[in-house]
Every structure is written in structure tokens, then in C-alpha cells.
Chain A
Amino acid sequence: MKLLALHLTNVRKFTGKRASIAGISDGITVVSEANEFGKSTFFDAIYALFFEKFSSSAKSVKSLQPYAGGAVEVAADVETEDGSFRVEKRFLSRKAAKISRLPDGAVVAQDDEAERWISSLLGSASEGPAGLLWVRQGLVGLEPDSAKEKSQLMETRRDLLSSVAGEIDAMTGGRRMDRVMRRVADSLGEITTKTGRKTGAWKATSDEVGVLEAEFNSVTTQVQALDKALTDRRQAEASLKRLDNADAKARRGDAFAAAKDAMDQAHAYAGAVTTARQDCDLAGLKAKSSETELDAFLKAIETLQTAEKQARDSSDEANEANQWANRLKTALDKARNVHKNAIDAVAETRRQLNVSRHQIAARKAKAEATHLESQITKAEIALGERDVARAIAKASLATPEWFRQAELAQGEVSKCNAAVEAQVTTLRMAYDGTARITQNGAIVPADQHITLDGETLFDLPGIGRMAIHAQAVGEEGRARLATAKGSLKNILSQAGASTLLEARTLAAARAEAETKAHLAQAVLDTLAPNGTEAMRAAKADADLAATGAHESELPAIASLETHLTQAEQAEEKARGLLSSTDVEHASARETSIKLRAAAETAERALEQAKADAGPEETRDSRRAERLRLQLQSQQALTEAEAELQALITAAPDLDTAKAGLKRAEDAVNAAVQERAQVSERLAALSSEIRTLAGNGIEERRDELAGHLEAANAAEAQFAQQVAALTRLQSALDAERDAARDTYFGPVQEELKPLLSILHRDAALSFDSDSLLPSGLLRDHAEETLDDLSGGTKEQIAILTRLAFARLFARQGRHMPIILDDALVYSDDDRIIKMFTALTRVAQGQQIIVFSCRQLAFQDLGGARPKIEVVDV
């Protein structure tokens, strides 16, 4: 169906008038008028025409009636596959409906038949596609507020999508699918959290497994301890039995007795060995002593011979060294004399040089003192002049400031005087001829200003008398003049002047005195920068330094200095000789003393060696005796050693015997000790066993093993159940998503190019309940429609309607899209893009746009019919 024209008669503001819109195009038609022009009236009237029975008195119909009342008539010219028709209805009064063919006006159907004709045209008893495609003013979203309208539109969308893709319930599983998915989620939720962690019975079972494992391990450990204790107790009991065995006890006793006998025998041998070893040691000592005595005797003889030779040699060396030391002593004395003379010569020369240098300094100080005396005199003169000038300047009050004040006062006097004089009338005569004017008889001189004051009479010879009345000088000017003069006088008197000339003289005198004082101070600063007292102190120092100055001739300083250098060199040379001789002498003396001491030592050694060697005549006999004794003791030692060795060889090992005895004794003691320990251990083990066995831990372990096995099995079942439910859930999700994709495929396909005009690479997700877009997918993120701006939401709503319109068109159900003041939130850029989308859809799709935004919708293009209103 396409709309060709609309006609409203006596509808709302068009009371008693007929309003028409003609020339609606096949594509876009824009009815752009100002507010209150009746655009929405047209929209509501079209709705009533197509969706309200002509007999209806519904609120929506009544709302069309003007205040003046009367029948409401609405008509639309439409084009269908069967041709062009006029559809018209009259509401509220003389109600009627009529369908007539347009070219010839032939009535096709009336009243109820006309209603059926309209229903057939719309393809639905309800609002049908128009509900989706006709958007009234103020509806910017996807759905109206009214629940009834929502429900109707929902059914329309479901019909539309089902007709192009199939029944949604059939595809997505409908309520049964919902129930199954809910059951899966509930079943999973009972035992798992949303993040897949265990909860509920599964967690309880898992926790129980943990608790059971811990307890099982603990009890198993106790059972093992009990087993071990039982085993240990059996072993201990066996040990006790073994220890208490009579044969074993007897064996240990016999072994002990045998070991003790062996020990006694070993001890006896040990005593004999000790005695033999002592004998052996004694023989060894004797042999050693004999050998030592023989060696000492032979050594004393040899030492004596050596000492004799040593004593001789030492004596010779000492004598020779003494002689050499004496010679060096003589040379040393001589060197000392030479050095002393050289020192004296240096001292004398240095004294002469000092005397000459002192005299030169005294003479220089004397000249300095004379100069200072002259300077002090000049400074004292300058000081006196400065003090006099300062006194003059200080006594005078004619300061430059004072003089400036005086000059200013004089200027004021002059100014006041001039003012007074300016008020005086004067008369100056200039005669050409011989006649002269007289005043009071006196000729008024020519070229002189005569002051006039008051009335003055002049005689003009040959003419008569002339009275000139001049104005008197003002008292105020005179007073100011007097004041200025008084001030001047006062100022001048401060420094003793009576005139400004005198003042200038006094000021000049004072300035001169100050200049003199400055000059004198400058001279003083030059002559005595540190003051005269400092100069006098310097002179006193110079006088002191000049003490002893004389005018006698002095030897040349340079000659004295040369002489001194030569003397010092001679002294240094003599000192060197003295030093080397002294060293040499000391060395020789030391050598002599040492050699003398050595000679004395050798002599004493000789005496000692003689004493050690004994008388010379008995030396041979003593040597023979000592040799014999040495041989005899050596023989005794050899015999003692042989005897000892024989005993050692024959004796049993005492340590071995001791070890044997100890071992036998230990065995007896160990048996006793072990028995005590085993008994003690047995008591402890029995106590431990009673404690452990008393708890029935073996039974508890078996019980726990059973519980643990059951709990593990239960947990495994839970795990399998979760795996199965999770797999089922994922399979259900996947299939439902796939079904939805299929279901919404056609509308998505229509939407995609339209949406890309506004948002590149964007897509809309659909809600399978409302069958409307639920979110915008862009930049890999989904935003719900509620989160979008009003403009974007409004644009998506219109694009969705355009897509639905395309789907209707694909089914051969052409319906116009009517938008009443849509796109109220869109900005300039988006509105242009929306125009592009509208224009794209308008290829074969009628779109009627009512808008009050005349300027904004200028760019939409399309036909632009006007609302024509005529009286009826």
C-alpha cells in the first residue's frame, strides 16, 4: 500500500475546514511545517482511519473531534496492487466507512465491508506492520509505554520474523528450553558456584574427603605405631628370654674367670719385665756415664791445644791494633788545631762584616730622622692652618643655604615691589616743541615716568590745566611688600648682613674658609697619613737606629763578604778532615780494645783448659783408665738388654689380657644392663600398646577407609555430574545462540548496511524475548541500549523500523513508514547520516516524515507537499 493523499474534514483545529496533503511521493515525502500546524493531527487521523472502526467512540477517535463538535471525516487516497482507492471514514456522527475507486469514484465497499477491505489491505486484524512503521511524536525508543501496544507490537514482530525465519519458539526451544536451561543451571548451582568452584553437597563431600583423609592418615600412623610396638614387644620378650637363658649365663661366667686368670699371668710377666727394664736402664746409664767421662777427657786435651794457639794469636793482634790507634790519635789532634784556627778566622771576618753593615744602617736612619723632622714641621703648619679655617667657617652663619634663603627673600621683595609699581599710574612726557607742562609749577621733565597718585593737576601752557585722576595703589600690595622686606631683613640679620651684597660677601668668606680647611687637611693627609704622632714615633725609632753613626770611612762590604766565604770554605774543609780522622781513630781504638779483650779471654780459656786437662804427667794413665771403664759398662748394658728382650718375648700381652677381661666383664654387665633395659622397654611398650589398642584404632582405620572410599566415590560422581551438566549447559547455550542467529538473521542482514552508515563495523544484538535490539556491539564491546545516548537510541530505533519495513517489503507487504517529529536528539552530523539511511531505504519504500524542524530537514530531500486548508 502506498499513500497518495490525505484529507481531514472537521478534525481538531480544522474546525469546519478541510485540510489536505496531496502529492505524496513513492519515496521520501517531507511535510515540514511549524508547530501547531496540525502535523500530528494528520498522524492521529490516519491511525484512526486504518485502525479504528468507523463506529468506534474510542478515546483516540473522540480526541479528533473539534470543540465545536460535529462529525469527524478522514480520508486517504491509496494505491494498492489492485489500483487506486479512496478510503474514507466518518466518525462520531452519521458514522460511515467507504471505499471507492479513485478514477471513477465507484464505491467498492461500505461500512463493515469497508472495514474488512481495510483489514485485508493491512494484512492483520491488529495494527500490523503500521504499528511497527508508524512512529508517533514523542516516541524515540523502540517500544511504546503502553503494555497493550507493547504486546501488539511484539506479536507483529514475532509474526514478521517468524514469517521470514521460522517460529522463534520452535527454533530456540521456547519455554521448554527455558525450563531445561533453568534446571541445568539450578542443578549446577546446587553443587558449584558461578566460577565453577565446589559448593553445597559437592563441597561438603569434598571437605569430608579432606577430613577423612587427614584422620585416616593419622589413625594409620597410629596403627603403624601399634604394629611396631607389638613387634618391638615381641622382640623384647625374645631378648629377655635369651638373656635369662641359664646356659648363656654360665658361658658368660666361665669366660670371665678365664679372662681373669689370663690377666693375673700377664700381670706377673709384666712385673718381671719392669724389673729387667729397670736393670737395663741402669746399665745404660752407667755405660753412658763412662762414655761421657772419656769423651770429656779427650775433649779437654784438644781444647787445651786450641787455647794455647788462640792465646798467642790474640795477643799479637791486640798489640798491633794498639799501635795503629796511637798513630791515628796524633793525626786527630793535628786536625783539631787546624779546624779551630779556621773557625776563628770565620768568626773574625763575620764580625767585621756585621760592624760595617750596622754603620750603614745607622747612617740611613739618621737621614730618615732628618727628613721626618722636616715633614713634621710642615704637617704642624698645615694643621694650624686647617684649624684656623675651620674656626672661621664654624663662626660664620653665612652658609650657602642661608644665602639661598636670602636670595629667595630678595626675589620676593622684588616681586612685591614690581606688583606695587605695576599698580602705580605714571606719566611720561615727550615734547616736540618748546612748550612744557608744569605741575605745581614745575616742568614735568621729558622721558621720565612720573607717578600719579590720586588727582594731579598739570598746567598746560597755552592750553590750560589738566587734571589727571589716577587710582591709588592698593594696601594689600604694600603690605605684602613690607612683609617681604621684613623677611629679607630678618634673614640677612641672621648672619650679620644688611644687604644682599653684604650677604654675598659673607657667604663667599665662609666658603673660602672652608676651602682653606680642606686644602690644609689634604696637605696633612699627604704628609702624615697616620697622624703626626705616628710620624714622631717613626722619627724616635730613626733616632735610635742612628745611634753610633759616624762619618769615618768603612771597608767595602763586598770585599768582606768574599773574605768570609773563603774563611768558611777553609773551615768546612778542616772540619771534614777532623771528622774523618776522628772516625778512623775511634774505629782503630775500638778494634784495639776488642782485640785486647779477646786476648784476655783466650788467656783465661787457656788457663781453664789447663785446669781441665789436669797435670800433664798423668794424662796418659788417666786416658787408659777411662777407656777401660767405658768398655766394661758397655758390656754390662748389652747383657741387660738381652735379658729384657727375652722376658718381653715370653710374656703374654697385658693389654690383650686386659681387653679380654674387660670384654668378659662387659658381657656380664651388658647382660644385666640389657635385661634391665629390656624390662623397662617392655613395660613402656605394653603401656603404649594398651593405650593405642584401647582406642580401637584398627577398627577406626577400617571404618575410615570405608568412609573415605565412599566419600571419594561420591565426589567422583559429583565431578561426573558437573562435567555432564556443564557440557549440557554449553551445548544448550550454543544451540540456542545458533537458533537466535538464524532467527534474527534476516533483520540483521537488513540492518547491517543501514547501521554501517552510522557506525562502521558495528552490529546489534537482539533479545529473543522482546525481539528487539538489546545492545550495540562496537569496538569488541557490547553496550546495552539503556547505556546509549538519546540520539543513538533514537537512531537505532528508526534504523530498526527501516529494517522491519524492508522485511515487510520482501514479503510483498508494502507499507509506508511514517515518522512524526522523529530525530529530535540527533546532532547535525548524525542527522545527515540518518537522511542517507532513509534515502537508501526509500528506494522502493514510501517514507513520510512530519517535522517542525524545517531548516534541519531541508537536506533530506524528497517531495515537500504543503497542507492545504479550505473552508467547507
Chain B
Amino acid sequence: MIKFIHSSDLHLGKAFGLFPRDVQVRLRQARADVLPRLAALAKDHAASHILLAGDTFDQTTPAPSVIRQALNMMRVADHVTWVLMPGNHDHANATELWRQAAQDAPPNVVLQLKPEPYVLTANVTLLPAPSTERNPGRDLTEWFDSAATSETLRVGLAHGSVTDFNASEDGASSIIAPDRARRAGLSYLGLGDWHGQLQIGPETWYSGAPEADGFKHAQTPSVLLVEIAGKTAPAIVTSLPTGTINWQRATLDLTGVADCSAMHKAMLPPLPDRAMTLFDLLITGRVGPLARVALEQAIAKVKPDFLWHRTDWTGLGLVHDTADLDAIDRQGALRATAEVLANESADDTLSPEARKTAQAALSHLFSFALEE
């Protein structure tokens, strides 16, 4: 009876300021490229609608170019109807955004700014619950229960976290009832806000973001193809991968590891994927200075393979024995310096900051001494 694509959290216009300029451009472009990909999927799967469950835009006042280019992209994909609903990032009170969107929207774009039933097709009514504010503080889907939609099939669209969650994606409180679909007689409730794909109930789904924007969720970014044959038929939900950038956060725990470099090598993504991978490496445990130097060199070697690579060494402690210090020198001032710094880094009477500085100084000493 109806086939549509459910997606959310495109966060068009997100800045990604933490990253270098070149990476930032790549990430922004990847998000913009999601729209034609969705259109293509809709075409491939003969979906009539693409329902975006909030946070299509990252801000309440995105740059006009972001709005215009998104709408232009939708205009081109006129084989499908785009249904846009405000989320907490682009809430309905973002009057300027939605005023401009309303002004520039092509005929195949529908804005759902009010909690009113909307006739998707002759037999399908959409019940939208647009976010009114950044933190609405109430369950905006409550009206679904009593919404009059005659005998049509009911599809709900909302943005926020269900009560099972402690918080939404960005920490805002939200309280969508997890059994809202059942209580409101919905054939399907499409949710947005959670960037990872997640099924809450038989007919309740978070589509997740079609392109990742952080290291939080491990699964491949996807959209949901939803097919509902009739009012009493169950919704058939298919996940379709859409992500192009791989956000990978990995922890390398070196406690008790003999060959650190080998372990590091084993955890790396395949070579062809690295150019599209943001690799955030957290190193923990304790190793000897020689092993650390070797690891540093190994990481430095593979770092250029990645779109972006970061190593967090703060979780890694240094252990050293006589053999380690011998690598610097067996005697003399250089050895004495290493011993002084090693003692300082383990001296509990010193401040943590001083110990940390001594440890870093010792690491430098190892690096410089072993550069031959």
C-alpha cells in the first residue's frame, strides 16, 4: 500500500570544526551527498516518500546556501516526495529557517511544522510530532492517541528519545513513550535523534543518521526502507547502508602485550578503507620505553594512510627496567638523567603534573637517544 524511506539526523551544515580544514570540507560534503543517495535509493526501491524525522539541518539558522542547496537537490529528485519535520536542532520555533524553507520549497517537498494529521496518500495519514523547541520537555507524540484520521493507515513521525533512554543524542531530555505506536494505532513510528540505527518495538524504529558524524555508533550508517502492505499488515523494514565516511574509534590496550607494533597493525582497517576513515586511537596499559618508541614509529608510519588520525597517549603508562635504561646508556650522565626522570615519574610525593612531565621527558629522552 505504501513504500517509503525513513531517515533522520542529516545535520546538513554541521561545521566539524574540530577537524583540519581539508577533513572538515570532506565531512561536510559527505553530508550534502546523502540527499542524492537517498533519492537514488528511493528510486531503486520504488519508494514514494522520504520521511526525514528531524534534524535535517544542524542549526536553527543555517546558512541560506545550505537550505537552498538541500531544497534544490530535493527538487531535482522529483520522483519522490520529501517530508521534512523539525527536530530539536532545527525545531519549529526556528522561524527563519522554516520560513525560508517554506518560501523556497519545491512542490515535492512537504514541511510538517505543526502537530496535525497529514494525508500522505489516499490511504495513509502521517501524524507528525515536530519539535517545538530545543528541549520541548514533554512527549510531543501524545496527541497521536486521539488524532482523528478516519480509517486510513497511520504512520507516526517524531524526534527525541524514548523513555527507556537516559538522554537524547546530544543530552537533551525527551520522553517519547516507547509504546506510542501501539497506543496510537500506528502501523509505523519513525523516530529521529538517535544517530545509530535502532529498533524500539515491532513498528518503532530509529533510522539513525545516514552519514555518521561521530565515533559514538559502531554500525554502518543506513536508512530504513519501510513497506506497509495494508492497515493491518506489519511494516517490513529493510536497512539500506548509506555511509561513506568510516568513523572508527579504537582502544589499543597494551597491558601484557609483548609485540605492541604487531597488535597495532592487526587492529588497523584494510588499506583501501583508510583514506575514508577517521581513526581515533586510544592507547592504554603500560609498556616499556623501547616498545613505546617502536609503537610511536609504527603509528607515525601509518598515519598518512588515513583521512584523519589521532592518537591519545594519555592512558598509556611507562614501565622501565634496567635493560630499558641500558638502551639509553649503561653509565654516565645520559644514564643518570634517565634514572632521575624515571624516579621522578614514579615519585608519589610529586604532583601528578610533575610526574607526567617527567614521564614525557623520559619518553623524549628515549626517542632522541635511540634515533641513531
Contact = CB atoms under 8 A, between A and B. Distances in A.
A699 B62 contact: yes
A221 to B, nearest CB: 15
B364 A710 contact: no
Contacts of A723: 357, 360
Interface in B135-155: none
Contacts of A234: 93, 95
Given A703-B15, A725-B364, A731 B337 contact: yes
Interface residues of B, number: 46
A575 interface: no
A153 interface: no
Given A702-B59, A728-B361, A173 B329 contact: yes
Contact of B332 (A169, A705, A710, A727): A169
Interface string A680-717: 00000000011011111111101111111110000000
A700 B64 CA distance: 13
Interface in A322-349: none
A449 B19 CA distance: 160
Given A724-B361, A728-B361, A735 B61 contact: no
B95 A230 contact: yes
Chain B interface, >50% SS class: helix
Nearest to A700: B15
A760 interface: no
Given A724-B360, A739-B332, A696 B63 contact: yes
B371 A183 contact: yes
A727 B58 contact: no
Contacts of A721: 360
A180 B361 CA distance: 12
Given A171-B332, A230-B95, A738-B333, A731 B340 contact: yes
Contacts of A101: none
Contacts of A704: 15, 17
Contacts of A724: 357, 360-361, 363-364
B64 A177 contact: no
Given A172-B333, A230-B95, A234-B93, A725 B64 contact: no
A71 B13 CA distance: 102
Interface string B355-368: 01110111111001
Interface in B53-86: 58-66
A709 B96 CA distance: 29
A1 interface: no
A689 B66 CA distance: 16
Given A180-B334, A698-B60, A693 B96 contact: yes
Given A709-B17, A709-B18, A735 B337 contact: yes
A177 B333 contact: yes
A149 B11 CA distance: 79
Given A173-B334, A180-B368, A693-B96, A727 B13 contact: no
Contact of A710 (B18, B94, B95, B96): B18
A735 B17 CA distance: 45
Contacts of B14: 699, 702
A176 B329 contact: yes
A16 to B, nearest CB: 59
B369 interface: yes
Nearest to A174: B332
B24 interface: yes
A697 B61 contact: yes
A176 B369 contact: yes
A706 B17 contact: yes
A659 interface: no
B362 to A, nearest CB: 8
Contacts of A699: 13-15, 58-59, 62-63, 66
Contacts of A692: 61
A739 B333 contact: yes
Contact of A690 (B17, B96, B361): B96
Nearest to B64: A694
B341 interface: yes
A699 B100 CA distance: 17
Contacts of B306: none
B331 interface: yes
A274 interface: no
A696 B365 contact: no
Contacts of B18: 706-707, 709-710
Interface in B175-209: none
A233 interface: yes
B300 to A, nearest CB: 15
B16 A703 contact: yes
A517 to B, nearest CB: 127
Nearest to A704: B17
B336 interface: yes
A130 to B, nearest CB: 31
Contact of A727 (B62, B331, B358, B368): B358
Contacts of A708: 17
Contacts of B365: 180, 728
A720 interface: yes
| Best-surrounded residue of A708, A720, A723, A727 (most CB of chain B within 10 A) | A727
Contacts of A710: 17-19
B332 A177 contact: yes
Contacts of B64: 693-694, 696
B31 to A, nearest CB: 12
A811 B26 CA distance: 75
Interface in B327-347: 329, 331-337, 340-341
A583 B319 CA distance: 134
A709 B358 CA distance: 26
A170 B331 CA distance: 6
A109 interface: no
| Best-surrounded residue of B24, B66, B97, B340 (most CB of chain A within 10 A) | B340
A184 interface: yes
A839 to B, nearest CB: 39
A171 B334 CA distance: 8
B96 to A, nearest CB: 5
B292 to A, nearest CB: 14
A702 B337 contact: no
A491 B341 CA distance: 133
A728 B359 CA distance: 10
A176 B364 CA distance: 14
Contacts of A705: 15, 17
Interface string A627-659: 000000000000000000000000000000000
A173 B335 CA distance: 8
Contacts of B341: 727-728, 731
Contacts of B96: 230, 689-690, 693
Contacts of A523: none
A226 interface: yes
Contacts of B333: 171-173, 177, 732, 735-736, 738-739
A655 to B, nearest CB: 47
A767 to B, nearest CB: 16
Given A173-B333, A706-B18, A738-B336, A226 B368 contact: no
A134 B362 CA distance: 47
Contacts of A226: 61
A187 interface: yes
Contacts of A415: none
Given A694-B63, A723-B357, A703 B364 contact: no
Nearest to A184: B368
B332 A172 contact: yes
9 contacts: A230-B94, A233-B95, A692-B61, A696-B61, A710-B18, A724-B361, A724-B363, A727-B358, A728-B361
Closest 6 CB pairs of A and B: A706-B17, A696-B63, A703-B15, A724-B360, A698-B59, A173-B334
Interface of B: 13-19, 24, 58-66, 93-97, 100, 329, 331-337, 340-341, 356-358, 360-365, 368-369, 371-372
Given A698-B61, A704-B15, 11 more contacts: A172-B333, A174-B332, A176-B329, A180-B334, A693-B97, A706-B17, A706-B18, A725-B361, A731-B337, A738-B333, A739-B333
